[in-house]
Amino acid sequence: MELWLSTNIRAHDFISRDYWVGNFEIVKGILPDAQIYVYELDDKIKAFVGIDNGYIAGIFVSDEMQSKGIGKQMLEKAKELYSELSLTVYQKNIKAVNFYQREQFIIKQEQIDKNTGEIEYLMVWSK
């Protein structure tokens, strides 16, 4: 959960830190319902992806492991498991939008996240 919190705060500096802190316990409660795949190094979780029936709830990579292909590996695992994937990503998270587009996700819809008021994209990928 610490990785979830720190990654969200860093990646979404346009959203109040209080939003992420306030959702910490909620996410902690629902996380066990998703399929979680982790990347470990020296017996420590350095990255994870949460998937719920083909919906990618998020890919979270620690600061020190950023830009080393770990996120791509996590996404490749998801692509092995599902013939179609979807996710939402904030429009202002340009790094993530570009990453998913490089990985053949297409923007299907633009919408407003009712919790934050921020524009987000619904993106999909299929084999």
Q: Any idea what the Cα angle at residue 85 is, between residues 21 and 52, rounded to 5°?
A: 50
| Mean pLDDT along residues 70-81 | 94
Q: Give the model's pLDDT for residue 72.
A: 94
Alpha-carbon dihedral sign for residues 112, 115, 120, 124: negative
CATH number at residue 112: 3.40.630.30
Rounded Cα–Cα distance for residues 110 and 103 (Å): 19
- In tens, the pLDDT along 12-68 reads 999 999 999 999 999 999 888 889 999 999 999 999 999 999 999 999 999 899 899
pTM of the model: 0.90
With a cut of 90, say whether residue 112 has pLDDT above it: yes
**Using an 8 Å Cβ cutoff, are 61 and 49 in contact?**
no
Q: Mind giving me the DSSP string for 54-98? A: TEEEEEEE-GGGTTTTHHHHHHHHHHHH-SEEEEEEETT-HHHHH
pLDDT at residue 105 greater than cutoff 90: yes
Structurally, the chain folds into a number of domains equal to: 1
Q: How far is CA 41 from CA 36, 38, 53, 62, 117, in A?
A: 16, 10, 27, 11, 37
Per-residue confidence (pLDDT) for residue 32, from 0 to 100: 84
In this prediction, residue 81 has a pLDDT band, given cuts at 50, 70 and 90, of very high
Give the domain range for residue 11.
1-126
